[in-house]
Structure 1
Amino acid sequence: MNLEPIDPETAVELYVADRETECRRATIRSHRSRLSHFTRWCEKRGITNCNDLTGRLLHEYRIWRRNDGDLAPSSERCQMNTLRVFVRWLGTIDGCDPDLHLKVRSPKITPGEHARTEMLDSEHAEPMLAYLEKYEYATPQHVVLSLLWHTMLRVGAVVALDLRDYNREENFLAVVDRADTGTPIKNGKGGQRLVALSGQICTVLDDYIRDRRQEVTDDHGRKPLLTTSHGRMSRTTIRRYCYEYSRPCEIGLDCPHGMDPETCDYVPIDKASKCPSSVSPHPFRRGAITHYLANDVPETAVSQRANVSPDVLEQHYDQRTEKEKMEQRREFLGNI
């Protein structure tokens, strides 16, 4: 077998460059991040040539990565699946045994282990939105958190919205993939859709646009719907809003952890993400999906609105218990 020597860092850079033409930027970032651990391990082990990789070495890496990152089975599986794809590619350029990828093993996990369950439930979301309605009406925070809850949009889709995507006459938002001008959305063109809005949300949006929205354009000359003084609102800003207002003390509720707001370390905004009650944007989406399903909105309607397949909806988002599902079915059947 004629292999050509190549060091791990160079191999990863060539792999990333090759994949850039066929993968979305978010995917490329994820692969680069995961493979950075592999190159770090190679450096620790003194492996300077990928030609020397073996199935046993890759198994040692798997154990090291699991322990080094304290990984859950689902995270370990994701890491090793990326490594397998990389090693398969490496074999096509004579960087390792072309069959080596067959020896990269991933943990087998159950659907329950793969799904994450953190979510913002309706008992938490509703007082938060009521507080914003009363004390922060039509502010960027009010608009962003209301959209996340009522539309079930991903953060990337919220960031991507332009002013022209809001149709006030027909009460909907157009979710559009504009990857060529800096705002790709999940599933690309397949993620494009029209999302209906309630009259209440439209009124909030109207007042925000009239009184609060900063008239700016982004680097591509587009007019974002959600803005800051620097241009299009960023994912980081949206995450900060989520962490800040999902803390019970921020909206006038008692701390469920028995902390005094006068002395609590998590009261400063830059520490909000450390609060045990605060959540990032994705639990807003998971909680909203569960809320709509629990209130008898058909799964097909939720699936299409949230742009998620029924199988993924069931496995990753629907947090209703089996008993809750049974009782909902009972109500329908009782009417037949």
Structure 2
Amino acid sequence: MSRRDRPDPSELPAREAAERYLRRRRPDSTDKSIKGWRYRLKLFVEWCESVGITEVGQLRGYDIDEYYELRSSEIAPATLEGEMHTLRKFVEFLENIEAVDEDLHEKVRVPNLDPEDRTNDTKLATDDALALLEYYRNSEKDYGTRAHAYLELAWTTGARQGGLRALDIRDVYLDDDPWIHFLHRPESGTPLKNKRAGQRPVVIPRETAEVLQTYIDDYRYDVHDESGRQPLLASAAGRPTTNTIRVWSYMATQPCLHTVCPHGKERPTCGWVERNHASKCPSSRSPHQIRTGAITHMLNLGWPPEDVAERVNAAVKTIEQHYDHADPRERQRRLRDRMEKRRRPLVEDLNPTDEIEERDY
């Protein structure tokens, strides 16, 4: 085919252009990210087709604004922000291949939200986490079970759900100075969110290591996954799916394990304790909510944000904006303590007494 016979990029159908964009992003993006972008762009493509936009070159600023108006009436502001950000990146790609007017991406409005509108404050509160861990550590029935091992790992590492799922037995070192190694292994189905940049060693408490050892010795299914690896958190079928991890999280954090149900139910007759309905319990928590609570707890203990960021593999800005859900009084106390630790020695140097006594008159 000669250059003259090649199709004009502006004639690309929106659906074909979206797939081309996703192929461009695939080498440097996770499968989860691609899946999310595909869903968002699918909505835009379907809208284009419904209003008769058959080629991306037909897109104008008015069309972009009309789509924004439609979506803003249907979804929450935080969801709208994500969708419009994805759309802007897609339009930038179309500009790069000269399929749409230059600077069209500037007409894609991305709402400027307050941090409060962008985040979900729900978390596993420190008091609830400590009560659950106290129950598991003192329980003859549940000590070292998979639920206990999962909660110990999730709370003490603050790791993402994908990172916990990716762990193998060989990644856990339970000797005198116990630690866990998070590794990016996309070729066998366990990528980390930040890829190789997400690889890191994480030290764990001695008590957590003892729980993991009991779990491995007494409760872990002796199975391999499809790649021949031995997952640390194992189901009877091998490595659990992300949805299975989420169910385990809901079941492991139900308060009726250690106290009276705050919702007036009885555990023996409550449907929420069943696997398929565990997420319905208002007090159970997802992996992300455990991560949020763990990060907030580390910050409340006085950990510098930079140290927390390194441990949980996130940017300091991301932690402060999306994960730090301390109440205002706790945040003020934390800032005051941090200021004291950092500046008190310097402030003492400003004391003129010693300098006055040392002056040579």
The answer to whether residue 116 in structure 2 is matched with residue 112 in structure 1 is yes
Q: 1:145 aligns with which of 135, 140, 151?
A: 151
Offset of residue 262 of structure 1: 7.1
Show the counterpart of 1:59. Answer: 65
Could you say what secondary structure the match of 1:222 adopts? Answer: coil
Larger radius of gyration: 2
Superposition pairs of residues 166-181 of structure 1, within 5 angstroms: 166-169=172-175, 170-181=177-188
1:119/1:284 contact within 8 Å kept: yes
Q: Any stretches of 5+ residues in structure 2 without a counterpart?
A: 1-7, 346-361
Question: Which residue does 2:51 correspond to in 1?
Answer: 45
* Number of residue pairs the alignment of both structures matches: 332
- Supply the AA of the counterpart residue of 2:183: V
Per the TM alignment, residue 12 of structure 1 is displaced from its structure 2 partner at its CA by: 1.3
AA of the residue aligned to 2:39: S
The AA in structure 1 aligned to 2:232 is L
Name 2:261's counterpart in structure 1: 255
Q: Stretches of 4+ moved more than 6 A in 1? A: none
Amino acid at match of 1:219: E
**1:194 alignment partner, one of 169, 194, 201:** 201
Separation in 1, partners of 2:334, 2:105: 47
Aligned pairs for 1:22-41 (under 5 A) are: 22-41=28-47
Q: Which amino acid aligns with 2:242?
A: R
Report Cα offsets for 1:246-299 as digits up to 9, x if no partner: 3323x1433333456577664433122122222211110110111122223333
- Over 3 Å counting, the alpha-carbon distance change for 1:163 and 1:262 in structure 2 is closer
Q: 1:158 to 1:45 in 2, by over 3 A?
A: same
Q: TM-score, normalised by structure 2?
A: 0.84
Maintained 8 Å contact 1:6/1:49: yes
CA RMSD of aligned residues (A): 2.3
The aligned counterpart of 1:16 is 22
For residues 195 and 285 of structure 2, what CA distance do their matches in structure 1 show? 26
Partner SS for 1:21? helix
Change (3 A) 1:259 1:3: same
Residues 284, 93 of structure 1: CA spacing in aligned structure 2 closer, same or farther, 3 A cutoff?
same
Is the 8 Å Cα contact of residues 246 and 278 (structure 1) preserved in structure 2? yes
**Mapping of residues 251-330 of structure 1, within 5 Å:** 251-259=257-265, 266-330=272-336
Letter in 2 for 1:14: R
Mapped to 1, the partners of 2:147 and 2:254 lie a distance apart of 14
Matched residue type, 2:191 = P
User: Which amino acid in structure 1 is aligned with residue 211 of structure 2?
Assistant: V
Structure 1 residues 241 and 76, CA, compared in 2 at 3 Å: closer, same or farther?
same
Distance 1:75 1:49 in 2: 26
Distance of aligned partners of 1:4 and 1:292 in 2 relative to their CA distance in 1, 3 Å threshold? closer
Residue of 78, 81, 87 corresponding to 1:77 = 81
Return closer, same or farther for 1:202/1:265 CA change in 2, 3 Å cut-off. Answer: closer
TM-score (ref. length: structure 1):
0.90
Q: For each residue in 1:27-46, what CA deviation from the matched residue of structure 2 results, as whole angstroms up to 9, or x when unmatched?
A: 21111011111122223323
Q: Percent identity?
A: 36
8 Å CA contact 1:145, 1:241 repeated in 2: no
Contact 1:37–1:65 (CA under 8 A) maintained in structure 2? no
The aligned counterpart of 1:90 is 94
Contact 2:132-2:258 at 8 Å conserved across structures: no
Counterpart of 1:201 in structure 2: which amino acid?
T
